[in-house]
Amino acid sequence: MKPPPFAYAAAGTLDEAVALLDEAGEDAKLLAGGQSLLPLLAFRLARPSHLIDIGGIEGLDTLEEQDGCLRVGALVRHATLERADLNGGWQALREAASLIGHLPIRVRGTFGGSLAHADPASELGVVAAAFDAEIVLRSVRGVRTMPARDFFLAPLTTAADPDEVLVEARFPTPGTGFRSVFEEFSPRIGDFAYASVAAGCRLATDGSARDVRIALGSVGPTPVRALDAEQALSGSFLDDTAIVECARLAAELCDPDAGDWHADGTYRRALVSHLVERALRRLGGGP
Amino acid sequence: MSAPRGGLIGSPAPRRKNRELLTGEGTYVADIRLEGQVYARVVRSPSAHARLLGVDTSEALRVPGVVAAITADDIDDIRIPIRLPFAESPEANAVLQAPLAADVVRYVGEPVAVVVADDPYVAEDAAELVSVDLEELEPVLDPATSAESSRTLVHESFGSNTIGRLAYRYGDVDAAFAQADVVVRRRLRVHRLAATPMETRGLVADYDSGSGGLTVWGGAKVKHFTRALLSRVLGLELTKVRVIEVEVGGGFGTRGEPYPEDILVALLARRLERPVQWIEDRWEHMVATNHAREQEHDFELAAGADGRMLGFRVRGWCDHGAYVRTQGLLPVVLPMVHLPGPYEWQAFSMDLDAVLTNRTPVGTYRGPGMTEATFVRERMVDILAAELQMDPADLRRRNLIPAESMPFSFMPGPGSGAVMPIMYQGGDFVQAFDQMLDGAGYDRMRVEQQQARADGQHAGVGISAYIEFAAVGPFEEVEVIGGAGNVVVRAGVGSLGQGVETALAQIAAELLDVPLTDVTVEFHDTAEVPQGFGAFASRSTVLAGNAIAAAVDEMRAVAAPLLGCGPDDVEFRGGAATAPGDRSVGLGDIGPTRGRFEKEGLTASFGGAVCSVSVNPADGRARVDRFALAHDVGRAVNPRLLRGQLAGAAAQGIGGALFEEIAYDEHGQPLSVTFADYMMPTAAELPDVEVTIIEHGSGSNPLGIKGGGEAGMVGSLGAVANGVADAVGAGAEVLSSSVSSAHLWHALHRPTGHDPGEE
Ligand SMILES: Cc1cc2nc3c(=O)[nH]c(=O)nc-3n(C[C@H](O)[C@H](O)[C@H](O)COP(=O)(O)OP(=O)(O)OC[C@H]3O[C@@H](n4cnc5c(N)ncnc54)[C@H](O)[C@@H]3O)c2cc1C
């Protein structure tokens, strides 16, 4: 459980980070909070040639609403998100952050690291998928953005190139009255979830659900957007029948092979249905 | 002259060293740095079963900083022996483990080579370069089929995967079944668990070529046995080997037995003439250190319609993993002697097989055998209660051995093998059982359960009752050295963090009437404490405590002629031996005395647990909302330490039921090698453990003490499983000791009659 040899450099600025990353080549890795990368190193499951530490770069921890979106910087710690004044439409983000690991992990772990690591169980990845976050990537070649649905490709694999730094994600500000919640099942507090759900909607004046968003975690290779379920619920009231039907449609998306020895696909599917129901009842005003 | 102090035995003195240990000032084996120290890394088998065609260390040896790399070819052909004479058999001795695998590897994690370097990182880098040439063989993975039908043999030369068949017959079991109105039958499974002490294993060995002496730090639990073994293997005189115990971060039965690494590190220290350190990492710990508990039992219970339990038959398979280690056949012996438990059976018949599989060897883990047996028997008792529609507490009370029948024994009858007889020295089980129910508020728990059910919740109450055999001999010897303001007790036991030095100091201080702070307990160094058997089987306080009493009696005998009175007239007062008429002699003038306490057989104590459980059928999660236990410790030397031991053990047991599981895939690859996968409970998942201490004394030793270090574990798996079963009712059959959310959800969502631990 000792990491294999690697070279280390700490970047003082974002420019320096992208330059170092470019220079070090394909086998280099960024080091942010270290909460995913260091365990991989200890098990020798990752063997980067270089670690480029971005943890000390200033200005990468933006957390503000600006120009119609919420900008969340790569170095925003989970613990910061968890305690931020994020309610209504952003509540799912805060709730998701609070469910990551244990406090010492949340104090170090970063938003950008969580997205870039692309664990299908990552709560923040599910929120990014549910609310159409735009991912901002930067390299010596310039800046580009892409929607979350294109960013996550497979477990621990994203569309970012090896020389790119994830700088921030931008969550479009939803319409007034939009609310969001996050639900998950993990065996113990702090464990990676067996299944998770980010859900949001706005209740129209007649009480029907609009702008429905539902995404699922831990049930496939990437966060999964439950588009059929969203559509089925749109325009209907959050009554038992609609909720159960929506949960059923969401559960159908679960890959039966996505499970592991802890929790197989069938079990995860049942959890999703249960969690979607719970999330929707909360959105409908339940506990 | 002051009045005798008294009251120290039974007082909740704080554990010694709390402050030091909690503020990081303790010295653990990983803290040791000796001049010239080098670091060992063990290369382990990646395969569950394979022919070992070759091990090539040449590339590793070329890495700068590497000072040695050894394989089986570099060491003598030795086997690590069984430590406990009653757990031996010729068969068991045929499948002992060598320090390094030679021709065949038999579990993932088996040592095949060791690389030593001047830096632990370099050692790990170089260990990766050792190439191990394997020809894969079919692994044997299931205990029940391993014995009966496997074509593959874990040890080809032995010719069978069954290495022991134990039979125990008591009474006429066929007659008992013929008389029965009801017979319930089930196959129950106990899942594989690991003890996972906070501190993994570790050693430092240093050989001094000048004196020819070997010193080993880090051996705990059974220092004197480790010393004898190393002296034999290295061909050194006993007095040339010294084993020193440093602080230990938990043992739980697994840490401190001699393992392959203990021998390898000592051999390397002598070969290199440099201090060698080896610290096990957590991945290694999960594959290399003993596992525990896995077994299956076909159990039939015969009873009358009135709830009188008449007899049982059990056929079981107890997994030993790939080798028999130092604890011999205890993984099969201990379940057997604990299966009958506290009930007054007319007859029973037990046949248990010790079997091999291609997985990490199995040893004892806190409450060994008794925890498994209690789960099996107590689950069956609840299944019977459901069948008879009786309250599980009433059913148990009706069948407990009455106090009038004490001492009680189930002597082995014709057809039994060479087994130790099951004997209970005393105690009032019915009274203790009722004390437990009262302490827990059992009647109120049932009322609350009904209320919760009326609210649509799945609420259950689980009970278990057990017998724990503890306090194994053969003996302990202590030395007590009196001085002015200072009494030193030297004892050959071991401290694994349980606080035994505090309890022993209390006994010595009370018997000699000196302040507790005046007593020092020394046990760390085999050079200073020449004999001892170690810390296991909840024996340390019982054995060494009574040996202290014997040493104090000896002091009395030595003092008597000095005082000109008879030994019975000598009284210890304030650091002196006194006689009637104000004569006195200081403890320092009496001279050191020795005391020895010999003990035959095991001390039985009664206990049990009650818990309330709630289950959410939608996600399968079971929560233990309350957990209350009771244990007869004979006499509580230190109720605070005892509560800590009982509550800690119960927490470990609850975690074992709800979360922990050592799993393997179909190739014999271990799946639970991190704490993300081997899920121990945290405070957030545990209820407060409510403890009732019962003090029914004991005829088997002068101080009247019974074991207490493990007992909190014993009833846990059974009580939690029974609580879960009660909560889900007809919704699912609980036939496995693992009631994790996934297992339980599957059990709830499949037609009944299947094993929830099967997937
Ligand atoms: C015990 C434990 C429990 C945990 N439980 C959970 C949980 O329940 N849910 C959960 O989601 N996570 C969990 N985590 C992981 C935690 O959330 C991590 O913090 C997070 O996944 C990664 O963030 P980091 O800053 O620590 O990244 P690091 O570990 O430093 O890096 C992770 C990966 O992302 C890359 N990376 C980091 N930052 C950037 C960037 N800005 N641009 C491009 N690439 C980057 C790194 O190169 C590396 O490949 C747990 C971790 C532990 C140790």
Domain boundaries, chain B: 18-26+473-598, 36-137+200-248+255-288, 291-401+422-471+602-748
Other CB atoms within 10 A of residue B567 CB: 15
Whose Cα sits closest to atom 44 in ligand 1?
A116
Q: B535-563 burial string, b = 16+ CB within 10 Å, else e?
A: bbbbbbbbbbbbbbbbbbbbbbebbbebb
Helix (H) or strand (E) holding A65: strand A63-66
Domain B18-26+473-598 has CATH 3.30.365.10: yes
CB of B206 closer than 8 Å to CB of B269: yes
Query: pLDDT of A261-286, one tens digit each?
Result: 999 999 999 999 999 999 999 999 87
Dist. CA B655–CA B520, nearest whole Å: 36
| Contact residues on chain A for B740, CB-CB shorter than 8 A | 187
Q: B18-26+473-598 and B36-137+200-248+255-288: same fold? A: no
Mean pLDDT, chain B, integer: 93
Domain boundaries, chain A: 7-53, 178-283
Record: contact B121-A261, CB cut-off 8 A:
no
Give backbone dihedrals phi and psi of A154, rounded to 5 degrees, phi first.
Answer: -165, 170
pLDDT-based confidence at residue B549 (cuts at 50, 70, 90): very high
Q: A7-53 and A178-283: same fold? A: no
What is the gyration radius of the CA atoms in chain B, in angstroms?
27
Query: pLDDT of B243-300, one tens digit each?
Result: 999 999 999 999 989 999 999 999 999 999 999 999 999 999 999 999 999 999 999 9
ipTM, interface predicted TM-score of the complex: 0.95
A176 lies within 8 A of chain B by CB:
no
Average pLDDT for B636-640: 94
Higher-confidence position of B753 and B744 = B744
| Contact residues on chain B for A43, CB-CB shorter than 8 A | 283, 674
Judge if the beta carbon of residue A29 lies within 6 A of ligand 1.
Answer: yes
Residue type, A250: A
Q: In this predicted structure, what is the pLDDT of residue B605?
A: 94
Domain A178-283 has CATH 3.40.50.1700: no
Whose Cα sits closest to atom 51 in ligand 1?
A35
Domain B36-137+200-248+255-288 has CATH 3.40.50.2000: no
Q: In this predicted structure, what is the pLDDT of residue A285?
A: 86
Atom of ligand 1 nearest to the CA of A160: 43
Residue type, A164: E
- Report yes or no on whether pTM surpasses 0.90: yes
Taken as a whole, chain B contains a residue count of: 759
Whose Cα sits closest to atom 3 in ligand 1?
A101
Q: What is the CATH number of domain B291-401+422-471+602-748?
A: 3.30.365.10
Q: Which of B124, B282, B659 sits opposite A188 (nearest CB)?
A: B659
CATH of A7-53, one of 3.30.565.10, 2.60.120.200, 3.30.43.10, 3.60.20.10: 3.30.43.10
Q: Assign B214 to helix, strand or coil.
A: strand
Q: In this predicted structure, what is the pLDDT of residue A258?
A: 80
Dist. CA A252–CA B700, nearest whole Å: 65
Residue B190's beta-bridge partner residues?
Answer: B295
A258 lies within 8 A of chain B by CB:
no
Judge if the beta carbon of residue A73 lies within 6 A of ligand 1.
Answer: no
Q: For strand B111-117 and strand B38-44, is the pairing parallel, antiparallel, or unpaired?
A: antiparallel
A5 lies within 8 A of chain B by CB:
yes
pLDDT-based confidence at residue B535 (cuts at 50, 70, 90): confident
Q: In this predicted structure, what is the pLDDT of residue B3?
A: 45
